[in-house]
A and B are shown apart, each in its own frame.
Chain A
Amino acid sequence: MTAIRVLLALVGIGCAAYGVTLLLDQNPQDLLSVAIWFGAGIVVHDGVFAPLATAAGLAGRRILPRRWWAPLAVGAAGTVGLAAVAIPVLGRSGAVAGNTTVLDRDYGLGLASAILVVWAVVGIAELCRPSRITGLRAADRSRPDDPRA
């Protein structure tokens, strides 16, 4: 396994170094813009999105009954996934001037309907067979809520 790991590491470092040389062909203004977007991605995730997601999880665990956690987590994951891919189209219908064939949907309505469908599926699945989502046995489900939570 050591040989494979060393090989992977060398190939990886080689690829990344090649990528850096390609990037460095750009002029300083473009490079600055690349650096800003690179850094902003990390800052927005680690400093904004992840703390908010963690806080939401913490709050949910404090407020909501334990048997709701799993279905709500599934629904929330679906919501976040849809919202993330909606960012570049939301509110941008018709944003490309003179071209009506791009951004040609009502994305607010689209996102709302897609989220609704996700929650409806989660709700139906939970009503029909709760253990499917939670993966817990009946014994676990009847256990009193963990006071530590």
Chain B
Amino acid sequence: MTRLEQLQRTVFRHPGGPRGPELASRIGLALGTAVVVCFVTGLLSHWIQHPPAWFDWPTDPVWLYRFTQGLHVTSGIAAVPLLLAKLWSVYHRLFEPPVVGGIVRLLERASIAVLVGSMIFELTTGLLNIAQWYPWKFFFPTTHYAMAYIAIGSVTVHVAVKLPVVRRALGSPLEAGRADGGVSRRAVLLGVAVASSSAVVAVVGQSVPAVRRLSVLAPRSGQGPQGVPINRTAAAAGVEALARDPNYALTVVVGGIARTFAPAALAALPQRTVTLPIACVEGWSVSASWSGISVVDLVAAAGGEVTGDVSFQSLETSGIYGRSVLPVRHARDERTLIALTLNGEPLDIDHGYPCRLIAPSRPGVLQTKWLSRIEAS
């Protein structure tokens, strides 16, 4: 045994200790599952916000986006301890000779660096985003989206390379090749399960109100004016004066003809009350009772009919979130409201007073607040 090998044995207890393919492949299976769920749900959220021509997102069940986006954030949280454990289980390989080696060795190391770098990047930026912390220059949504392809791509290449090893390791007994009575692989897997599930419980309450009180690390406790948290305040959007202007009126353009509706005129139209969740891209969601005018009724009152997508413009004109396009399927759904009240009270200014859009199964960022103009074709 060379001195380097002896040192490796002492430091990493490999071979003989818990590290090895039998452990790494089992943790990898759990991590891979979380990563695929996270990637698919993230892709759905991206497509809802930037719909390709072939994409169609249903209005039922109304909680569908709440579910998929809650799952996106939760699977990402679950993946944090899984990734740390996976890296722990193979860390000794970083020091395996030859440390530099030939071109094949360098390529292998470079591909692992891309895999590790992109995974850490995705989980770190996602975790910081749900806590609204942006200590970087790049724009989070586009970068997180782009890097997701690099991460899922390098995971897929890694599976392709390791498939024979993984198959052999998953077919072997968990403790195969263990030399002594130290920490068993079973204990390590138990530790990983404890770490991943406690991280999930500590955050998932922002998506699952039943366990809210247990989620001591959730960026949202679920509290807020009228029982609903806020992402962007009226002050941050710079719309306070415009929203409270006594001459405020909502412009509705149908077939090129504009009509205006003062708040009293909106209140005089037939009102509906629906229970719909508001579900943020950051994973938190809250169900609430909204009342107001159906978009179909409002367009009818303006002398038209919903035949295509409907666009919504906020009083907020700076930034990219002051505008949204509602697909025809959602616009035609009678539960899609221009809401005037939330949980029985006139909308709080931070929830979009005088009126806001609320539609079933859509990201909160597209539920435009402080509406100024609606355009139907």
For chain A, residues 36 to 71, give those with C-beta under 8 angstroms from any C-beta of chain B: 36-39, 41-42, 45-46, 49-50, 53-54, 58, 61, 66, 69-71
Residues of A within 8 A of B150 (CB): 15-16, 19-20, 23
For chain A, residues 15 to 35, give those with C-beta under 8 angstroms from any C-beta of chain B: 15-20, 22-23, 25-26, 29-34
For chain A, residues 73 to 120, give those with C-beta under 8 angstroms from any C-beta of chain B: 73-78, 80-82, 84-89, 92, 95-96, 98-99, 101-105, 107, 109-111, 113-114, 117-118
Q: Are A146 and B127 in contact (CB under 8 A)?
A: no
Q: Are A34 and B220 in contact (CB under 8 A)?
A: no
Q: Are B198 and A33 in contact (CB under 8 A)?
A: no
Residues of B within 8 A of A87 (CB): 127
Contact pick for A95, options B133, B158, B191, CB 8 Å: B133
In this assembly, does B301 line the interface, its C-beta being within 8 Å of a C-beta of chain A? Answer: no
> Closest CB of chain A to B238's CB: distance in Å?
12
Residues of A within 8 A of B158 (CB): 12
> Closest CB of chain A to B132's CB: distance in Å?
5
Q: Are A89 and B131 in contact (CB under 8 A)?
A: yes
Contact pick for A114, options B117, B202, B233, CB 8 Å: B202
State A118–B203 Cα separation when bound (angstroms): 15
Q: Are A9 and B157 in contact (CB under 8 A)?
A: yes
Q: Are A8 and B230 in contact (CB under 8 A)?
A: no
Q: Are A45 and B182 in contact (CB under 8 A)?
A: no
In this assembly, does A5 line the interface, its C-beta being within 8 Å of a C-beta of chain B? Answer: yes
Q: Mark B320-337, 1 if CB is under 8 A from A, else 0.
A: 000000000000000000
Q: Which residue of B lies closest to A32 (CB)?
A: B137
Q: Are B217 and A85 in contact (CB under 8 A)?
A: yes
Residues of A within 8 A of B132 (CB): 95-96, 102-103
Q: Are B229 and A102 in contact (CB under 8 A)?
A: yes
> Closest CB of chain B to A24's CB: distance in Å?
9
In this assembly, does B20 line the interface, its C-beta being within 8 Å of a C-beta of chain A? Answer: no
Q: Are A74 and B190 in contact (CB under 8 A)?
A: yes
Q: Which residue of A lies closest to B127 (CB)?
A: A88
For chain A, residues 131 to 149, give those with C-beta under 8 angstroms from any C-beta of chain B: 133-136, 140-141, 143, 146, 148-149
Known: A20-B150, A32-B137, A46-B94. A85 touches B203 (CB 8 A): yes
In this assembly, does A123 line the interface, its C-beta being within 8 Å of a C-beta of chain B? Answer: no
Q: Are B235 and A80 in contact (CB under 8 A)?
A: no
Q: Are B182 and A105 in contact (CB under 8 A)?
A: no
Q: Are A85 and B184 in contact (CB under 8 A)?
A: no
Q: Are A76 and B156 in contact (CB under 8 A)?
A: no
For chain B, residues 228 to 260, give those with C-beta under 8 angstroms from any C-beta of chain A: 229-231, 233, 235-236
Contact pick for A136, options B113, B148, B160, B181, CB 8 Å: B181
Known: A41-B117, A42-B120, A77-B194. A84 touches B181 (CB 8 A): no
Q: Mark B1-26, 1 if CB is under 8 A from A, else 0.
A: 00000000011110000000000000
State A64–B196 Cα separation when bound (angstroms): 25
> Closest CB of chain A to B152's CB: distance in Å?
6
In this assembly, does A6 line the interface, its C-beta being within 8 Å of a C-beta of chain B? Answer: yes
Q: Are B149 and A6 in contact (CB under 8 A)?
A: no
Q: Are A101 and B220 in contact (CB under 8 A)?
A: yes
Contact pick for A45, options B120, B167, B183, B191, CB 8 Å: B120
Q: Are A98 and B142 in contact (CB under 8 A)?
A: no
> Closest CB of chain A to B85's CB: distance in Å?
7
In this assembly, does A128 line the interface, its C-beta being within 8 Å of a C-beta of chain B? Answer: no
Residues of B within 8 A of A104 (CB): 220-221, 223
In this assembly, does A1 line the interface, its C-beta being within 8 Å of a C-beta of chain B? Answer: yes
Residues of A within 8 A of B40 (CB): none
> Closest CB of chain A to B254's CB: distance in Å?
36
State A118–B81 Cα separation when bound (angstroms): 14
Q: Are B216 and A114 in contact (CB under 8 A)?
A: yes
Q: Are B188 and A73 in contact (CB under 8 A)?
A: yes
> Closest CB of chain B to A83's CB: distance in Å?
9
Q: Mark B159-189, 1 if CB is under 8 A from A, else 0.
A: 1110110010000000000001111101110
State A31–B154 Cα separation when bound (angstroms): 20
> Closest CB of chain B to A72's CB: distance in Å?
9
Q: Are A111 and B138 in contact (CB under 8 A)?
A: no
State A113–B65 Cα separation when bound (angstroms): 32
List, sorted by A's number, 6 A–B pairs whose CB atoms are closer than 8 Å: A9-B157, A38-B121, A50-B91, A70-B184, A77-B192, A133-B190
- Seed contacts A54-B11, A61-B182, A85-B199; 15 additional CB < 8 Å A-B pairs: A12-B154, A16-B150, A23-B147, A45-B120, A50-B88, A50-B91, A54-B91, A82-B202, A85-B77, A86-B202, A88-B128, A101-B223, A102-B220, A102-B231, A114-B217
